Chains A and B, each alone.
Chain A
């Protein structure tokens, strides 16, 4: 009897804590969305709602927003090729070597973004045409997100008996490319989609490295966000955040749906 009461109490406490955490995570999001739609934050809801601030942000920052979408798309495409080839290569490598290589490719995740950005600048910053071009940012994003694509695809490759399938295809005369494209890749389709979603969301929100990599000609969405937060009224910052949420939340929801087994691994 006493035992049952304690465990019910503990349950209640855990539920309370969980709800409190959920509020902590969601209240500021809701508030920032509402503020972005308010006529005036100081007066609150009474002054009414409008899309004025959203329009202002689109006018002022559409270049940065589009550039981010463009870079994120290219990052996904490039990493689909690089990451899949890499995972396939690692699969075929002897275990000790594969472990060491994998470890090496994950290093950019452990490096603080600002260090990576600085390293890029001291190496290639003097190449003026490259430095001020968006491809300078693209290269950084490809490097930083490659491990995520690699992990997502490799985990699924290793969970299946692709060796057997490949052997069967080989005995029927399929060459290495044919086996990769027609046997291995169709079996990793979900992982490639999950990896792409992850890479896209990471690229579109990347700031730590991009702040150093961007130039006045190539501001990205998060760089514009930081600028709006620092210099403009809170309604504009909120409206900009709202636009970012509109872009990113569907992707995050899609990731949760795909979730399932590789979710922990795709992070």
Chain B
């Protein structure tokens, strides 16, 4: 019944599209990266260039700190929401997970609403008696980018953590409590290990998204030196296609490796969340 021939027929359309518009372009990009003045050495040279290395490191630092922060917040709130029962819990859950698919550009604009020149924070500062000259404006900096990435990372991770926390065996916690464990000990020794796969999985997705995110930085613009912005300006402003290709591939490779690592650490959990 399971003829191999038919299986191939079913796989063929997707494989064709994938090969033509992903594998071939990727191979082409790899070749273009070596077409610059320094040839294949370009792939090593960018790592010795201070400017590129700097932006590589700041992108890593940003993605890393956003991931850690998101995971801490979602672990606490996700577990709390899956346990608690009160009247407006469905509303709270909906609000926390709704911005799931807001694009980066929109998130950038929302950050301007919060921390821009006429944003909530600046206006609140003035209402409290601060003078207009010293208004708190954080949108157009690394802080703004951090806030934006946090904004679009929270809903995804919250969903994953809540789904996992719902499935935890409550009897284990009960048993631990009966044996005299403090609330803190229960959280550390029972709940945390239980949601660990969800944390690793959503942490990997969060990190990967933050590494490649571009829309938010593009909206907040000015001089935020994250790697996707550097790639974009190398390509459009400097017309430096080879360097843009090299940096793109490094960025892609690193992101992909993080996902693979997380996947091997948790079995298939990341695969399911990706």
Contacts and interface: CB of A to CB of B under 8 A. Distances in A.
A28 B113 contact: yes
Interface of A is mostly: helix
Given A105-B14, A229-B109, A110 B255 contact: yes
A18 B97 contact: no
Interface stretch (A45-53, A59-67, A113-121, A185-193): A113-121
Contact of A31 (B120, B212, B241): B120
Contacts of B163: 263-264
A109 interface: yes
A82 B14 contact: yes
Given A105-B18, A155-B272, A222-B105, A18 B13 contact: no
A229 B256 contact: no
Contact of B244 (A22, A35, A118, A249): A118
Given A22-B95, A226-B218, A31 B113 contact: yes
A115 B103 contact: no
B176 to A, nearest CB: 12
Contacts of A104: 18
A128 interface: no
A109 B92 contact: no
B271 interface: yes
Contacts of B24: 123
Contacts of A101: 11
Contact of A14 (B25, B80, B159, B164): B80
A265 interface: yes
Interface residues of A, number: 98
Contact of B110 (A28, A105, A150, A255): A28
A211 B218 CA distance: 10
A58 interface: no
B219 A226 contact: yes
A108 B112 CA distance: 30
A146 interface: yes
Given A18-B92, A207-B105, A93 B11 contact: yes
Interface string A77-107: 0000111011011101100000001111111
A225 interface: yes
A256 B98 contact: yes
A41 B76 CA distance: 37
Contacts of B182: 3, 6
Contact of B28 (A122, A143, A263): A122
B84 interface: yes
Interface stretch (B38-46, B47-55, B129-137, B148-156): B148-156
Contacts of B76: 14, 17-18
Contact of B118 (A11, A42, A108, A146): A42
Interface in B1-59: 1-3, 6-11, 13-14, 17-18, 21-22, 24-26, 28-29, 32
B273 interface: yes
A106 B214 contact: no
A48 to B, nearest CB: 18
Nearest to B78: A18
A249 B256 CA distance: 30
Interface in A151-205: 151, 155, 166-167, 170, 176, 180, 198, 201-202, 205
Interface of B: 1-3, 6-11, 13-14, 17-18, 21-22, 24-26, 28-29, 32, 73, 76-77, 80-81, 84, 92, 94-106, 108-114, 118, 120, 151, 154-156, 159-160, 163-164, 182-183, 205, 208, 211-215, 218-219, 221, 228, 231-232, 235, 241, 244-245, 248-249, 251-252, 255-256, 259, 271-274
16 contacts: A22-B95, A22-B96, A83-B14, A102-B271, A110-B259, A113-B214, A116-B25, A119-B26, A143-B21, A147-B274, A170-B1, A207-B103, A211-B232, A253-B98, A256-B97, A264-B160
Interface of A: 3, 6-7, 10-11, 14-15, 17-19, 21-22, 24-29, 31-32, 35, 41-42, 81-83, 85-86, 88-90, 92-93, 101-116, 118-120, 122-124, 139-140, 142-143, 146-147, 150-151, 155, 166-167, 170, 176, 180, 198, 201-202, 205-208, 211-212, 222, 225-226, 229-230, 234, 237-238, 241, 244, 248-249, 252-253, 255-256, 263-265, 267
Considering the complex of A and B, which 9 residue pairs feature the smallest CB-CB distances, nearest first?
A: A112-B212, A89-B10, A205-B103, A119-B25, A115-B248, A89-B11, A28-B110, A14-B80, A86-B14
Given A42-B118, A226-B219, A267-B205, 16 more contacts: A7-B183, A15-B84, A25-B155, A82-B13, A101-B11, A105-B18, A111-B256, A115-B249, A122-B28, A143-B21, A146-B14, A212-B235, A229-B105, A248-B102, A264-B273, A267-B160
